[in-house]
Amino acid sequence: MAEEKKNRSEELESLDKKINEIINGWNQNPEEIVEFLQFSSKFSYAYSPRNMMLIAQQQRGALLCKSFKAWKELGYSVKKGEHGMEVYVHTPITILKTDDGDIPYSKASKEQQVAYDVGEIEGEKLSYFKKGYTFDITQTNFPPEKYPKLLDRGIPSEFHRSCTNILKEYCEENLGLKVFLQDQEQNIKGVSLYGYHSPSEHEIHIASTLQDTAAFSTLTHEFGHALAHGSVEESLNTNLHQKEFEADVMSIMFCQHYGLEITDERKSHLSGHYKDWKKSDPNNFHPDKSMRKMFDLFREHSTVLDQKIVKAFPELATRLLPQELEVNSEKKKVVNKTAKRKQKKKKTPRL
């Protein structure tokens, strides 16, 4: 048991070291964060930011990743000689409270396991992580011609005009935010050439002179402010450069998700505020935590927005909505038959 804990600890330390190396690389060149966000936004599987950092470092061209077991359950296999990418794997452990002391469920006797299952023994569930491996779809025998269409993100700019209107309606109907598309000289004075978010008024103002792509990019940035720093208190208590960094993370994720090219101006804006945040508030400089927060917000709201956009553009359903991978039915039958044979052999433990 002690040796197992030691090995687990060493494996996690190795992964933590890689994460720190990635973040140190960002400190040297913050624009690498943009590449990471572009990479992350195309993933349909909800990996944590830390796992996506590890995947991006090990295989920048990865498209859709699953565990060896998950691919097998779909009826496909990992190609011979392929090496998995290291990731954190959540492995909750149940500890049984027995007369002989605390025992992990997996190490307990059959009698103790059954006693726990029927409520005769108390237990405690603990959350642990270990090192595991994931494999990209390109590392399997999944037919390339059947790759999900959602991996193709090319969408014409006319689409972004509709996205802007749908996001505007979403802000007003779901979040109680008023969005104004107005002339620059009327409302946008000195704060921003493009737009701004007002926490006290619960409003977003966007310059009406912006073209489709710029309007959508700006609205997603201000949308990020509204979600992460929506109240006056949150806005006042958050470092200015942190707020701009987080809003840029949201904007880049949305722009990549809906097929908008990330401009050099946006990259420079994120890079500049990343550096200034680190310089101005080093004790509270935690970009990984910020990105985790923005990733969660992006997933929560993009899922709803995708549904609204597909209602307006049904032809985009295969691009924006989650697509099930086609199961290899013949291989699946073999796997199921094997599982059934094992179940027949398995004896029911006596109480």
Residue 191 burial (CB count, 10 A): 12
Answer yes or no: is pLDDT of 228 > 90.
yes
Average pLDDT over residues 15-23: 83
| Beta strands 203-207; 178-182: pairing state | parallel
Average pLDDT over residues 288-303: 92
Q: What is the mean pLDDT of the chain?
A: 81
pLDDT of residue 42: 64
Are 291 and 249 spatial neighbours (Cβ–Cβ below 8 Å)?
A: yes
Burial 9-25 (b: 16+ CB within 10 A, else e): eebeeebeeebeebeee
- pTM over cut 0.75: no
Q: Give the model confidence (pLDDT) of 152-194 as tens digits.
A: 444 447 888 899 999 999 999 999 999 987 654 444 443 355 7
Query: How sure is the predictor about 295, in pLDDT bands with cuts at 50, 70 and 90?
Result: very high
Average pLDDT over residues 266-284: 91
Q: Would you give the DSSP letter of residue 325? A: P
3-state secondary structure of 83: coil
Residue 313 burial (CB count, 10 A): 16
